[in-house]
Amino acid sequence: MSSSVNELLDLLTLERLEVNIFRGQSRDIGSAQVFGGQVLGQALSAAQQTVTGRDAHSMHAYFLRRGDIDAPIVYEVDHQRDGRSFSVRRVVAIQHGRPIFNMAASFQVPEAGLEHQSDMPNVPPPDALLSSLEISERVSAVIPEKMRRFLRMQEPLEFRPVHPEHYLSNKALAPAKQTWMRVRGELPDDDNLHRSLLAYLSDYELLGTATLPHGLPFAQGKVQMASLDHALWFHRQMRVDRWLLCDFDSPNTSGARGLARSRIFDADGVLVASSAQEGLIRLWDEARTGGSTDFTQQR
């Protein structure tokens, strides 16, 4: 296992400070603030440590403030309910004495029931596609340095977009795309770890889908985007060290916000999870109106 993957696993291994209180560190991935997927994964990791015999099946979160990369994050877990089949935990992430994020996660005793799922899109396999890093290197001359740094920092992860033109095209495109993604290297057989890592991965690529009909590729750095809320449903067991296909679509943008959704399939076509996110989307000229560049004020 590479050192970068070990760093990612360490990121999701929280320090227990007290009963129901945990502390996590941050990893700089080239963004201006703590990556939202990191907080999602760490919050779920904290909640999972307070539940036994039940698997997470859904999580619903709100991002409240910009996270400080240079400061630890404290996670407080509240036991909202422990019923016969379901448990609910509320998690608040705190930095500098203020909440930056909150989440509710629900857990269920494993049980059998009715089964159906939607079909996976017919797309090329990942081995037939270029990685996002390879694509960025081929078009490095037209990608801002900040974006190139962001893409280079994704070393423990691998992304293979089905439609690489989405990264750069300034033409209006359909609000849909597909991307294969995985964590590099063999990971432990720990279902809780794989769910936390999927929460981490689920924040990549998602919101950018909402910009496609407007000819505003995120790789060119012309838009300000920030996650506002995030929902993730776990349908079946999965491994994030195997290829997963994320099938994204965006049904709406309005009010400087965009909504995006994702269906997540394994390589055998099994629907393992679904996600949805609404986020802030502003053109940079609009974002800077009034002279402020403070993210928390803008949001």
- Residues classed as catalytic: 203, 227, 277
Among residues 75, 78, 82, 4, the alpha carbon closest in space to that of 45 is found at 75
The helix or strand, by DSSP H or E, that contains position 161, with its residue range, turns out to be strand 157-161
Q: For residue 125, give Cα distances in angstroms to 42, 131, 134, 181, 246.
A: 31, 12, 17, 11, 13
Give the whole-angstrom CA distance, residue 287 versus residue 298: 7
- Asked if 207 contacts 256 with a C-beta cutoff of 8 angstroms, the reply is no
The helix or strand, by DSSP H or E, that contains position 50, with its residue range, turns out to be none
3-state secondary structure of 176: strand
3-state secondary structure of 213: helix
Helices (DSSP H) in the chain: which residue ranges?
A: 3-11, 36-48, 132-138, 145-152, 191-201, 284-287, 295-298
The two structure tokens encoding residue 191? 């279902």
Give the whole-angstrom CA distance, residue 30 versus residue 48: 28
The edge-to-edge listing of strands for the beta sheet with 157-161 is: 15-18, 21-24, 73-82, 86-95, 98-108, 55-63, 223-234, 271-283, 257-266, 244-254, 176-183, 157-161
**Burial grade of 180 (CB within 10 A; 0-12, 13-18, 19 or more):** buried
